[in-house]
A and B are shown apart, each in its own frame.
Chain A
Amino acid sequence: MTATKTETRPQMRITPAGIERPALGIGQRIRIALEIIEKAYQIVRFNFKREAFGTWLGRLWLVIEPALQAGSYYFLIKFVFGLKGADTTFGFFFTAITFWRSHAVLVSSAPYFYLQRGSLYVQHNLGLGLAYTELVLQELILLVLRFAVLAVFLVVSGVSVGWSWLAIVPIAIVQFTFTLALVVWLSMAGTTIKDLGKIIGHVVWFWWYMSPGLYSAVRIPDWARPVYDLNPFAQIIPSLHQALLEGRMPDRWWGLLQVWAISLMLLWLGWKMLRQVSYRLTRYL
């Protein structure tokens, strides 16, 4: 037998209040974080393979599926509807849809997160850090693929690639931080209040129409702007349009920074809360 010894962990104490583990040093935390990312990558790789199981084209569907979606939009907007105007182009619609889709998928599935993924991780004593990392990493990879498809279609439709496209990275970070903060809170709430899973889809759908993805934010009357701008996507989507379609750096950095700061705080609070209640949450799995 080839035995690989796992590292002997220090004492772990379980009480009704939760699981007490010894505090870790910074070096250990970094090492564990890197391990989590590596493991999450492997698990995501297998997830993609599972989803493509039994198909002829296999994992190529990861690219084909967004390409088909982009093609459909391109055909409808360009040739069927023949829409004219700055906020009615294929690029305008599909840029917003590409990024919104990641947000919508993560938020819509968040109430079911614990039931569908968390239980597996808890049963294997892996910790929820890996579960959330896997969730976000998978969606991030899909976003990269969808963005690649978007980029091809933008170039085909006459948009030039420029330095401003690099602004996509910080904008995506802001969006994913905000989305993850919501996911953490919704996953906790959805475990005990399962009704949330039924409602959230409708909320996300309504949210999409309240965001400047199908129309330009300039169409919003001035009296409604203070409320409208509270929607983080009122900062995110116009910034994406500026960077990708208008070839200039976004002028909403301050707004994006505010969204990011609030998201970080929500995420931190959510993570703290999660650490407190995750042990008791397992009772509902």
Chain B
Amino acid sequence: MNDLSHSPDAVAVKAGEVREALARGDCARLAAGLGGQWPSALATALAKARGSSRDVAGAAVEARAILSESGRLGERAWVEFGAGRGDFAEAVEKTRFAAADRLGMATGTSLRMAASKGERSRFIIPDLADGASFEFHALISIENIHGVTPVLALRLLHGPDPEEIVLTFRANRLLVGGMVERELDWSAGARLLSVAVSGETLRVDVDGVAVWYAPRRRSDVATGINLDLIGVAGGEVAVDVHWFRLGPVARSMLDGHLEAAGHIFADSLRAAGPDLALDLEAYRLLPTPGRALVAGAMTRAVAQATAYPEHILGQLGARLDGGGAEAAGEAPEPIVRIEDVAVEMPTDASAKSLIGLLRGKQKAMLSILKGVSFSAYSGDIIGIIGKNGAGKSTLLRSIIGSIPISRGSIVIRGKPVLLRPGAGMQQELTGRENILLAGLYMGLTPREVDEIVDDVIEFSEIGEHIDRPYQYYSDGMRARLIFSLATSISPELLMLDELLGAGDIGFQEKAARRLDTFIRNAKVVFVVQHGTDFVMTRCTKCLYIKDGRQAYFGDPRIAVEMYQSDI
């Protein structure tokens, strides 16, 4: 093992290579290069399971053996069936293989749950021997008879309290706590899902590769586990559980390091993202001699607050066979970086006081937004969806600084411009005069506005009405004028608040094309819309705000699906 005193650039390059390898799912090659064998063997075993369903039972036995030899299984299991360790029919009796609408059944080689649209099948383990610390492995495959991918959810029970949704599988994605998503293609065959709950931390592995390691959203002890299959439109779907093993967490020395690392990260990065999972995977792949370095690096990192994962990844990168240093490249800077932003507003006008204001103290505050964190990069069109009053417009106004935040930070590179229907427009002035006035409000000089006036008038299709007072314009004309103006000036950061819905269909199509051109100029656009069509078809990312909290940020399809399932 090389020491950790590389130049920072070299370390960053190597770290980039490792991240790429991990992102490609190339862990087997990485592990082989490091001397670790079991991930590679597990990958081979699972590949067999994907060959045909008849091989799944054999693959389950093989996977279990590999995990057992690698110390990944505890000494005893509380519940286990499949992989030659227990009968499925007996498992149905032991657990509550109940179904609200459809019953599950033992097929001989698996536990099968089935559901059609609107139905739910539920596999329940109501009592855990130790709800504070447990781990289970499940080899699962989905039979999507009609090409439909169902919704599969793993929930923890907390007595009479609401269930805690830990994992949701939908649309070939894995959502962890609604906060982060990973690609997960069920069509590839059976997947080995491993979930470990240890105190306040949650670890999730898919096919032996860590995809999540972070604090749980709840810290109390779980009393049971649910696995729900929810039917969706398109036909019946079935899920087979080929092997299931529930028991105490296997605490190897390596796991101890991992948990320690996880806790350290968890404290500093409350909303850990996929990168953390990659970092932890890198730790896990370290050979034994590297563990001391991990511990040392962690200690130094805590003391110096340095990015020690880069050093670890750099070490791993040095062991990759082949591969060029050019793979990593330089990471782009976000145009907007929002970290843990919260907004609070006074609930009572009588609670205001100048002294309180000067002291920075306020009473009786109502939380409007909480825990919003994401980054937007050049070229992003970010849709913001949520119910009325969810906090969408508040977020936009916070980004331009017109509503003060009470926590977190917002970093912006560029001048943000927020456009809402009628914003800045004066009823008594003509359309032409309003172009000049709104242009001034957007930060242009009168000369710069003169240069774009003709283009704005032409694109907005206002025609001869441009010299009529604005108050006589229809809503559609107003929206067209504002949109045309906004997309003529090319601000670095444009925020459109309910501005795309107006206008006839022809103009909306034209506006969408213009927005494409606008985006090609490498700008960032935020779009608040009640409708989801624009989000689904044009947005690169989507933020779903639910009750003032960030419910999801990422793939627009998933965001819209979550939104629609909530309304």
A residues lining the B interface (CB < 8 Å): 1-16, 19, 35, 38-39, 42-43, 46, 49-50, 53-54, 119-120, 122-126, 188-189, 192-193, 277, 279-285
Contact = CB atoms under 8 A, between A and B. Distances in A.
Nearest to B360: A280
Given A4-B490, A124-B418, A46 B426 contact: yes
A125 B402 contact: yes
> Of residues A2, A19, A120, A282, which shows the largest number of chain B Cβ atoms within 10 Å of its Cβ?
A2
Given A42-B437, A53-B469, A277-B358, A6 B490 contact: yes
A165 to B, nearest CB: 33
B444 A277 contact: no
Contact of B412 (A11, A124, A280): A11
B169 to A, nearest CB: 37
A53 B404 contact: no
B345 A1 contact: no
B433 A49 contact: yes
Contact of A6 (B407, B444, B455): B444
Nearest to B450: A4
> Of residues A12, A38, A119, which shows the largest number of chain B Cβ atoms within 10 Å of its Cβ?
A12
A38 B354 CA distance: 34
A43 B438 CA distance: 10
A49 to B, nearest CB: 7
Contacts of B399: 14
B260 interface: no
A46 B429 contact: yes
Interface in B486-527: 487-492, 514, 517-518, 521
Contact of B452 (A2, A124, A189): A2
B424 A120 contact: yes
Nearest to B343: A283
Contact of B445 (A38, A43, A53, A283): A38
Contacts of A8: 413-415, 492
A99 B417 CA distance: 39
26 contacts: A4-B489, A4-B490, A6-B448, A6-B492, A8-B414, A8-B415, A8-B492, A9-B415, A11-B412, A12-B401, A12-B412, A13-B410, A14-B399, A14-B412, A16-B404, A16-B405, A42-B436, A46-B437, A49-B429, A123-B423, A123-B424, A189-B354, A192-B357, A193-B354, A279-B404, A282-B404
Given A54-B428, A123-B400, 14 more contacts: A1-B455, A4-B490, A6-B415, A7-B415, A11-B413, A14-B405, A14-B410, A19-B401, A53-B469, A123-B418, A124-B424, A192-B354, A283-B345, A284-B346
A10 B403 contact: no
Contacts of B408: 15-16
B404 A280 contact: yes
Given A6-B415, A6-B443, A189-B354, A122 B490 contact: no
> Of residues B346, B416, B428, B469, which shows the largest number of chain A Cβ atoms within 10 Å of its Cβ?
B428
A6 B443 CA distance: 8
B413 A10 contact: yes
Contacts of B354: 188-189, 192-193
Contacts of A46: 426, 429, 433, 436-437
Given A14-B409, A43-B437, A125-B402, A1 B459 contact: yes
A9 B336 CA distance: 13
B91 to A, nearest CB: 53
B444 A3 contact: no
B363 to A, nearest CB: 12
B6 interface: no
Contacts of B451: 2, 4
Contacts of A11: 411-413
B437 A3 contact: no
A140 B521 CA distance: 43
Nearest to A14: B410
Contact of A192 (B352, B426, B440, B446): B352
Contacts of B406: 16
A13 B487 contact: no
A123 B445 contact: no
A4 B488 contact: yes
B401 A283 contact: no
Given A14-B401, A16-B406, A3 B413 contact: no
Given A11-B411, A38-B445, A46-B433, A2 B426 contact: no
B397 interface: yes
B514 A1 contact: yes
Nearest to A273: B358
A123 B490 CA distance: 19
Contacts of B275: none
A39 B441 CA distance: 9
B68 interface: no
Nearest to B412: A12
A281 B345 CA distance: 11
A280 B357 contact: yes
Interface string B350-366: 00111001101010000
A188 B418 CA distance: 25
Contacts of A14: 398-399, 401, 405, 409-412
B67 to A, nearest CB: 47
Contacts of B487: 1
Nearest to B411: A13
Contact of B442 (A35, A124, A283, A285): A124
B492 A1 contact: no
> Of residues A10, A38, A49, A125, which shows the largest number of chain B Cβ atoms within 10 Å of its Cβ?
A125
A104 B422 CA distance: 32
B489 A12 contact: no
A283 B488 contact: no
Nearest to B487: A1
B444 A4 contact: yes
A210 B411 CA distance: 52
Interface in B450-464: 451-452, 454-455, 459
Contacts of A53: 428, 469
A284 B365 CA distance: 12
Given A5-B490, A38-B446, A277-B357, A283 B404 contact: yes
Ranked nearest first, the 10 interchain pairs of A and B with the lowest CB-CB distance are: A53-B428, A2-B455, A14-B410, A124-B441, A50-B428, A3-B490, A122-B402, A125-B400, A12-B412, A192-B354
Nearest to B517: A1
Contact of A123 (B358, B402, B404): B402
Contact of B521 (A3, A192, A280, A282): A3
Contacts of A119: 402
Contacts of A19: 401
B402 A16 contact: no
A6 B491 contact: yes
B355 to A, nearest CB: 9
Contacts of B398: 14
Nearest to B490: A3
Interface string B338-354: 00000001100000111
